[in-house]
Amino acid sequence: MLEHRKINRILQLIARLRSPIGCTKDELARDFEVSARTIERHLKMLEDIGFKVDQHENRFYITNINRSTFKQEDLIVFNLEEASLIKEALLNNHVKSAIYDNVLDKLYALTDLDSLAETIGKSRQSFIIGTIRQGIKHKLQVVLKAYDSQNSSKTGNRLIEPIRFHNYFVYLTAFEIETAKIKIFKTERIGDAILTEKSWKYEAEHHRIGMDIFGMAGEIPIPVKLKLSKRAKNLLEEEYTDAAKYIHMVHGNYYLDTEVYQLEGIGRFVMGLPDEIEIIEPQQLKDYIRIKIESFVLRH
């Protein structure tokens, strides 16, 4: 199972590095829940097996795709599952035009989906993702076999109605039949996926779960406002690239105004820079940080 996860992580790393905007080591380490040193080893391994990994400032790219014919402002950035869905829709469309060809060219340039599909074709994880996608497409229930839950520390089967993937197939949103709840599953923790012949029964319950800039998912957003030092602002933008659009300056001070779905993600960031960040709101974030600090002190 550990080897299976490592292979899946490498395949998803390839997908991330094919993005036109690239990725930083810190972003990759956070998303894959490993150290920056581990990401460095993975990047070196990719180069050793023939991938050309380039670096511009602090961002890394796989550049064996010829993007030279496109200007950056002409590229519309989709994640892999979104680009794949659009591409499939276009390929099934019998009406051809110059615009049709241009859009397809851009999708190929952005994701190189056919090349990526060939790369991951031998991976068991690709079959798991493919099975789940069939469940989404045909609205069928799927059994996630031997799902290794980090929350419960238990491994077991889950009967679900799959809804959509997030973050380059790292996460799956699905309705779990047993608990009658929308849940987020990490695809690398799925041992296998079995497509059933049972149609969805709970589509009306498939309400959308949001995901915040810290990668936390949930249904009820929590408004947050932080006052940031310049260093905290820069680190936030480096580690969580989507944060930039929620940062603004007032009277020479930087503020983050956004919504989160859980306090764990933003809490980790705040606790990492306690002297650089002031929590304006909400009170529950202040309480969360205080409880975490008190618990740490008691253990030490």
- Domain of residue 165, CATH code: 2.30.30
pLDDT of residue 120: 46
Domain that holds residue 177: 125-208
Q: Are residues 184 and 221 in the same domain?
A: no
Q: How far apart are CA 132 and CA 115, in angstroms?
A: 21
Q: Are residues 279 and 248 in the same domain?
A: yes
pLDDT of residue 300: 76
Q: Are residues 53 and 157 in the same domain?
A: no
Q: Is 11's pLDDT higher than 60?
A: yes
Cβ(135)–Cβ(198) below 8 Å: no
Q: How far apart are CA 121 and CA 119, in angstroms?
A: 6
> Which region among 45-59, 62-76, 202-216, 260-274 has the lowest average model confidence (pLDDT)?
62-76
Q: Name the domain boundary from 208, 240, 264.
A: 208
- Between 90 and 73, residue with greater pLDDT: 90
How do residues 32-54 score in pLDDT, each as one tens digit?
777 888 888 888 887 766 678 88
Q: Which two tokens stand for residue 225?
A: 């406002």
Q: Are residues 99 and 152 in the same domain?
A: no
How do residues 131-152 score in pLDDT, each as one tens digit?
998 999 899 999 999 998 876 7
Q: Are residues 111 and 159 in the same domain?
A: no
The CATH number covering residue 32 comes to 1.10.10.10
Q: Which range among 17-21, 91-95, 145-149 has the greatest average pLDDT?
A: 145-149
Q: How far apart are CA 241 and CA 251, in angstroms?
A: 24
> Which region among 109-118, 221-230, 235-244 has the lowest average model confidence (pLDDT)?
109-118
Q: How confident is the model at residue 296 (pLDDT cuts 50, 70, 90)?
A: confident
Q: How confident is the model at residue 283 (pLDDT cuts 50, 70, 90)?
A: very high
pLDDT of residue 67: 46
Q: Which range among 4-13, 36-45, 256-265 has the greatest average pLDDT?
A: 256-265
Q: How confident is the model at residue 111 (pLDDT cuts 50, 70, 90)?
A: very low
Residue 116: its H or E element: helix 113-120
On average, the pLDDT of the chain sits at: 79
Q: How far apart are CA 54 and CA 60, in angstroms?
A: 6
pLDDT of residue 23: 85
Q: Is 235's pLDDT higher than 70?
A: yes
Q: Are residues 8 and 115 in the same domain?
A: yes
Residue 39, classed as helix, strand or coil, is helix
Q: Is 277's pLDDT higher than 50?
A: yes
Share of the chain above pLDDT 70, in %: 74
Q: Name the domain boundary from 208, 241, 270.
A: 208
Q: Are residues 85 and 187 in the same domain?
A: no
Q: Are residues 11 and 103 in the same domain?
A: yes
Q: Are residues 267 and 243 in the same domain?
A: yes
* 31-66 burial code (b ≥16 CB/10 A, e <16): bbeeeeebbeebbeebeeeebebeeeeebbbbeebe
Q: Name the domain boundary from 208, 234, 257.
A: 208
Q: Are residues 155 and 254 in the same domain?
A: no
- Per the structure, the count of domains in the chain is 3
Q: Are residues 39 and 111 in the same domain?
A: yes
pLDDT of residue 112: 47
Q: Are residues 132 and 116 in the same domain?
A: no
